[in-house]
Structure 1
Amino acid sequence: MSTKTKLMTAVALTTALTAPAASAETTLKVSHYLPAVHGIHTDFIEPWTQQVTECTNGEVQFEIFPAGTQMGNVARQQEQVMAGVVDIAHGLHGIPRGRFPATSLIDMPFLTDDAGAASYALWELFPEYLSDEYNGLKVLALHAHNGGVLHTNEKKVETIEDMKGLRIRTPSPAVSEMLSFLGADPQGLPPGEVYESLQRGVIDGTVFPWDPVKSFGLNEVLNYHLELGAYTVSFFFVMNERSYEGLSEEAQACVDKYSGGDLVAKFGDWWDMWDAPGRQDAIDAGHQITELSDEQRAQWEETLQPMMDAYLQSVKDAGVDNAEEIYLAMQDKIAEYEAAQQD
């Protein structure tokens, strides 16, 4: 090798060693179980991924898998993110049953019908009371929906007696217990199967807030709606811990910036916005919407008190020794939120 060639080789090697390395791009898989037209996708998850990508100057990219994709199964969100099949997942605490017993206490009847209050309570109590249920996960947000509505196709429900024998789709263990206690027959179904089940007469109705009624097109197969507001249902937005730790410190800071308390605080307003079109569609279709009076709600709550006591005991028996303490703490945080909203 000539002296000139050796010199050129040395210069090239030195340049390669001293030049700044190009930032490696990371693509994270995000899964959720709702249609891509739902506000969870359009107003929450899609913008969240865009914010993180912009914050990282493109270092972190995302691929989103909603309902209808190979990773959009509601029953598999938790196991997929734990296994690292996806990096981030948004799912229901109550499906599959029994995996988040302490967190799911927020689903107890008549605890709150406000998404903002329930979401605030969950996030405030997470560090002290709920974190053990998320080992191996980086929790980005916990939240809940507005008070659920009882929707039926053939039978109008106005009283507790009207519930007897109705086959009603249920989203969580606490709601299943509530429906059973009221004389209904709870049916565990993923949200995406409700339309066909109603159409085929497999079920008589479902409990949902108004928003999925719109996004799943359910007003086409429903006629009656009882604005019970007796329960809420909670959700997780979590990241595989190894996926999070594999990011650069700068990328981790971006994920943190757009997650946590500031994100959780948005769900109250979001859910009010998401609920409105579903309710309006029912009105436009000529459906009958029934609202419980304060007196009727008190009667339903009184009737359900033994069920609530029994459910608390069942959670305690399942290993959550301080279930009553968590439930009372949730009541306190909800009251704290409501008081702040009035100021």
Structure 2
Amino acid sequence: MTDALEAEPSPDWIEKIKSGGAVPHLEPDNCPNGWASPEGDIFMVRGPDYLSSRVKIPGGDYLLKPLGFDWLKSSSKISEVLNDPNSRVRRAIDADPVNKHFVWAFNLQVPCKDNHSAILYFVSTEPTPEDSLMDRFLKGDDAFRNSRLKLIANIVQGPWIVRAAVGEQAICLIGRAISCKYIIGENFIEVDIDIGSSMVANAIVHLAFGYITTLTVDLAFLIESQAESELPERLLGAVRISDLQPDSASLYELPSEEQAGDMQSSLPSRLWKSIGEGFSQLLHPGSQDTAGMPVEGNGNGNHQGKDSKTEESSDEDDFEDAEN
């Protein structure tokens, strides 16, 4: 569906969002300091018989259309962007004359000096099927969402030290590993993912941030299937981010009630502690589970269908488990 979704004509406001951010929307094979929509088949997901066979299959079609990408920075943590009537995507949503589209936003909050946020936007142009896994995710409570929201991170290109820390492809149940806040409106859902809430995730992201200008990564989101009736898994959407320049991030003006908030006073100590934990992880890889959970295959599409015993168990882990 990746090609099919791209081929379908999109409303003007969708095209404006895709092309309106500070980071340009480019082709997957050539997107320096840009973002793109990779093919779903480079990600391996649970197949129709996974619970008995542990066989994974290529991800295939996306459930959502790619909508946009924002690379933002601010003096404080950036959150609830879609609740901000002045944010560019919220303005576009409010101006949608049809008002039948539903936007999904994943806000990766990177705790650093300038509080960067990488926000991935997707959109559904059709009503969500009643009692589908997506419908249950939207209507469920935070405990259900935390137990199901999954991230697959695929390092396409980058220095060996980042590959060693993350692995070629990592899988994580985000809500069990990292603190997530779910903001749901009439026509949107935003997930604010606080990377700084996990020591391991924080250390790895700080490490990767130092090489961000030479790093290409694919990020896919999906809702984990845990029952036979929910299989096979379907990808919500994915984005490729390549060679980002920190200086290209747009300055985000926080809503006035948040501007008075001070930056977290504990950030410097948490930063150094996290970096120490991250390098300890690299120097002593056998001492604990890694935060990156590999599956068979890599970003070049060289996948096998059968998980090994190690991969089978690691697929169920999360960052917090790795810390304990």
TM-score (norm 1): 0.25
Q: Which structure dedicates a bigger proportion of its chain to strand?
A: 2
Q: Which structure dedicates a bigger proportion of its chain to helix?
A: 1
> Between Structure 1 and Structure 2, whose CA radius of gyration is higher?
1
